[in-house]
Amino acid sequence: MKGVGDGGLAARRAMLRWGWRLFRREWRQQVLVLALMTVAVASAAFTAAFGYNFPRTDEALFGSAHQRMTFSATEPQATADTAAAQRYFPAVDTFSTRIVPVPGEARRLFVRDTDPNGRFTAPIVAVRAGRYPTGDEVAVTFIGHSHLCKSFALTREEVYEVVATKFVIRPEHRYIISVGSVGQPRDYDNRASYTVYDTEERTFEFKRVAYDIDGAAQKIFAADLERNFGNRLFLGV
């Protein structure tokens, strides 16, 4: 049964002729698109297969040693196990790993102690500039990108958050400090953030200062950027 407006066989023939003429006119472009899609799919498949089958080594995590021994022990048993391994092998590098909780965070921190001058592990922890701290020197690592004002202190036994905005860098501690953001804070304080680190007094301080948020937001709106980039300045998130 034919429906209303159905042109029947003549209409179908007209559509087929139109399609054939279109193909004859643009077949080169269609073949080119098909070829590009084929090359893209083949390249993606090859890259995925190559990456999956590429031989992996432990050198990135364990250096150039040929043997690895793992002990799940605490002191004093860990020291005794290490001494036994050192008696058996001519050269041994030791390192310890532990996972510690971070207050206020669901994820835990993986901490690893490695000798930077070890025979096998030195290449994987080598510094490209400067030097490692020695003796009672302290190590402070500053990081950005998170837009948060956060400080964490690490000892051999624990990791804890330093909540004070100004504090003294204590010996036998390592610090990881996120310095915040000048223009887009993420801690619900819409003031700009900067820091002062006094290497002589060994003090660190977060500083906050008000700025023209409305003016900065209007420039974002005028630049036709995502409006959320400007709106969030008022909230500090």
Chain segment 204-214, per-residue pLDDT in tens:
999 999 999 99
Tokens representing residue 227 in the block? 């409006």
| pLDDT at position 1 | 47
Is pLDDT larger for residue 19 or for residue 175? 175
State the CB neighbour count (10 A cutoff) for residue 109.
14
Q: Whole domain around residue 210: which residue ranges? A: 139-237
- The answer to whether the predicted template modeling score (pTM) of the entire model surpasses 0.85 is no
Name the more confident of 104 and 18: 18
Distance CA 45, CA 72 (A): 41
- In this predicted structure, what is the pLDDT of residue 187? 85
Residue 182 lies in a domain: yes
- Find out whether the peptide bond into 76 is cis, omega within 30 degrees of 0: yes
In a domain, 166, yes or no: yes
Domain boundary among 108, 132, 156: 132
Q: Which pLDDT score is estimated for 222?
A: 92
Q: What is the distance between the alpha carbons of residues 181 and 186, in angstroms, rounded to a whole number?
A: 8
Q: Percentage of residues in the chain with pLDDT exceeding 90?
A: 16
Phi/psi class of residue 130: alpha, beta or left (left: φ > 0; alpha: ψ in -120 to 50)? left
Find the helix packing angle between 213-222 and 227-235, rounded to 10°.
Answer: 170
Q: Does one domain contain both 160 and 190?
A: yes
Question: H-helix or E-strand containing 96?
Answer: strand 95-101
- Reduced to 3 states, what is the DSSP secondary structure of residue 220? helix
Same domain, 212 and 164: yes
Q: How confident is the model at residue 215 (pLDDT cuts 50, 70, 90)?
A: very high
In a domain, 18, yes or no: no
Domain co-membership, 81 together with 114:
yes
Block residue for tokens 């002062």: 196
Number of domains in the chain: 2
- In a shared domain, residues 111 and 155: no
Does some domain include residue 47? no
The CATH number given to whatever domain includes residue 163 is: 3.60.21.10
* Judgement on whether residues 111 and 187 belong to the same structural domain of the protein: no
**Residues whose CB is less than 8 angstroms from the CB of residue 170 and which lie 6 or more positions away in sequence, other chains included:** 138, 153
Distance CA 172, CA 223 (A): 49
pLDDT in tens, 61-114: 556 677 778 888 777 888 888 888 888 887 888 877 777 776 666 767 677 777
DSSP state of 145: S
Is residue 227 included in any domain, yes or no? Answer: yes
Decide if 48 is inside a domain.
no
165 — pLDDT class (breaks 50, 70, 90): very high
Q: Are residues 190 and 173 in the same domain?
A: yes
Q: Is 73 helix (H, G, I), strand (E, B) or coil?
A: coil
Quick one: tokens of 55? Answer: 């031989």
Gap between the Cα atoms of 236 and 216, Å rounded = 13
Dump pLDDT digits (tens) for 132-157: 776 666 688 888 888 888 898 988 77
Coil, strand or helix: which one is 15?
helix
Query: Which domain-ending residue is among 132, 163, 178?
Result: 132
Q: Which of 132, 147, 178 is the last residue of a domain?
A: 132
Q: Indicate the range of 121-125, 143-147, 162-166 predicted with least confidence.
A: 121-125
Range from 21-30, 116-125, 132-141, 180-189 that averages highest in pLDDT: 180-189
CB 204 within 8 A of CB 197: yes
- pLDDT of 31-64, one tens digit each? 888 888 898 888 888 887 766 665 555 555 556 6
- The average pLDDT across 10-21 equals 79
CB 84 within 8 A of CB 104: no
Q: What is the pLDDT of residue 102?
A: 64
31: in domain? no
